[in-house]
Amino acid sequence: MHGGALRSLWYDAPNTAQHSINVGRWRWNFVDNTHFWSPGLYPILGISEGIVRPDYALLFQLIHPDDCPRTMEPAFVRQSESVPPSTFRIVRPDSRICTVVSRVEVTATPDGRPVCAHGILVDISDHAMWARAEAEQRRRDRAIFESVRAFTSTTYAFPFTKFSEEWLDLVGVPETELLQDPGRPIVKEYGRKNGLQEMESSFSAKHITQVLRTLRLANGDTARYRMVLVPVLNDAGHIESWTNFVGPIHLKIRPAGRLLLGLEQRLESGHIRAARALLDWSMTDLSGASGVSLSTIRRLEGCITAVSVANRNQAIDALRRAGIVFSFIDESTIAVSRGAQRAG
């Protein structure tokens, strides 16, 4: 309901499609000198998956020599507590060139010793393509809202200082009035908070909240709605933002994008063990499929918070690619099921 960049959510509704962008992720574990590249990194580097072993030194060698940042040098990354963002060109093996934006996070021990680096490369070679993709994404988001009266948005703080266009259109209350009374569109229910108060409490407690409330809509009708607030963590384990979903309660939610990312980041060790059991995988199988070391998988299944967010994401992505689905079944429970395996 709040301001910020909108992202698509998949519904059981017509004319919805997933939007993908050219993003690749890498990880370098300094302790055991192991490396991981996500499937999306290979096309950015112009290398077919399975041809080479992931290695940060190889990635670095592909940076154009005329604009190679010193901060991307292996020695700097390995010894630094932080790596500033940078933009540079990649020279692919076939001599084609692309421009990327780089972000790197370094994980360190309590005494400051770097132990792991994980980064992201975003291909920004075709700015016009990005503009068209963003415009198309906004069109799809709006089409979803017009079709099923549901939407997602991103917020960074409470109390709210901005409300999304969809929320304003849904409830028909001017933004100036909502800023004074954010709970005005929510029908009061005896003995219950108005829903926004629960979300604000969740914001302080840093956990997922899902509430069911009756809204007074712009056309004068009332309808039962689901409101979900999900924190999204960065690779360092800190909350980067909050993703909100607002939709009629009869709508079956199929999370995608940041909503799915935030949901999966709240999984517990038991969810990982259950997912592996559904696939009939051993810990070694999960290690091989995710690129995460066997010792890390053992720690993951013992205490999920003992493992970095980057490692968790890798393991969860491997399970999802193998057909595992994580979803809400009530206001606080995440279910694990098996669907169709997806390619890539």
| Per-residue pLDDT, 256 | 72
Which pLDDT belongs to residue 33? 93
Q: What is the pLDDT of residue 120?
A: 92
Which residue would you say has higher pLDDT here, 331 or 205? 205
Query: Of 201, 265, 269, which Cα lies nearest the Cα of 233?
Result: 265
Query: For 153-169, what is the mean pLDDT?
Result: 83
- Judge whether 211 and 199 are in contact, CB under 8 Å: yes
- What CATH number is associated with residue 119? 3.30.450.20
Residue 8 resides in a domain: no
Mean pLDDT over each residue of the chain, to the nearest integer: 81
Angle between helical axes of 309-321 and 257-264 (0-180°, round to 10): 110
Same domain, 246 and 333: no
What Rg value do the Cα atoms of the chain yield, rounded? 22
Residue 203: pLDDT band with limits 50, 70, 90: low
In this structure, is residue 30 part of a structural domain? yes
Residue 171 lies in a domain: yes
Looking at residue 128, its pLDDT comes to: 61
Calpha distance 134→132 (Å, rounded): 5
Asked if the structure places residue 9 within a domain, the reply is no
Residue 278 buriedness (CB in 10 A; 0-12 / 13-18 / 19+) = middle
- Does 21 score more than 50 pLDDT? yes
Which two structure tokens, joined as six digits, stand for 316?
A: 């969860």
pLDDT for res 305: 81
**pLDDT of 11 over the 50 cut:** no
Q: Give the span between the Cα atoms of 310 and 236, in whole angstroms.
A: 8
Q: Of 217, 250, 283, which one is at a domain's C-terminal end?
A: 250
Q: Are residues 196 and 245 in the same domain?
A: yes
Report the number of distinct structural domains present in the chain.
Answer: 3
Domain that holds residue 34: 23-127
Residue 200 confidence class, pLDDT cut points 50, 70, 90 = low
Based on the fold, state whether residues 108 and 190 are members of the same structural domain: no
Domain end call among 222, 250, 278? 250
Quote the pLDDT of residue 57: 94
- Does 212 share its domain with 290? no
Specify the pTM: 0.57
Cβ(7)–Cβ(243) below 8 Å: yes
In this prediction, residues 305-322 reach a mean pLDDT of: 84
Residue 290: CB atoms within 10 Å: 23
In a domain, 133, yes or no: no
The confidence band for 204, taking pLDDT boundaries of 50, 70 and 90, is low
Tens of pLDDT, residue by residue over 61-101, are 999 988 888 889 998 898 877 788 888 889 998 888 888 88
C-beta separation of 219 from 341 below 8 A = no
- Residue 132 domain-assigned (yes or no): no
Contacts (Cβ under 8 Å, ≥6 apart) of 222: 187, 214, 215, 216
d(CA 213, CA 272): 32
Q: What is the pLDDT of residue 217?
A: 96
pLDDT at 182 over 60: yes
Domain-ending residue, one of 198, 218, 250: 250
**Side chain identity at residue 165, one-letter code:** E
Q: 203 vs 169, which has greater pLDDT? A: 169
In terms of domains, do 207 and 170 share one?
Answer: yes
How far apart CA 166 and CA 168 sit, in angstroms, is 5
| Chain Cα centroid distance, residue 124 | 19
Under the banding of pLDDT at 50, 70 and 90, the label for residue 4 is very low
Query: Alpha helix (H) ranges present in the chain?
Result: 41-45, 56-61, 74-79, 127-148, 165-171, 175-180, 196-205, 257-264, 269-279, 283-290, 294-302, 309-321
The closest of 44, 41, 97, 51 to 314, measured between CA atoms, is 41
**Burial code of 48-62, b = ≥16 C-beta within 10 A, e = fewer?**
eeeeeebbbeebeeb
Domain CATH code at residue 293: 1.10.260
Please state the rounded mean pLDDT for residues 120-136.
77
d(CA 166, CA 152): 9
Rounded to the nearest 10 degrees, how much is the dihedral formed by the CA atoms of 45, 50, 51, 54? 60
Residue 17 has pLDDT above 70, yes or no: no
Whether 103 and 158 share a structural domain: no
Residue 7 inside a domain? The answer is: no
Element housing 152 (H / E):
strand 151-155
Yes or no: say if 300 and 292 are a contact pair by the CB < 8 Å rule.
Answer: yes
Q: Given this model, what pLDDT does residue 208 score?
A: 78
Cα(42)–Cα(25) distance, integer angstroms: 10
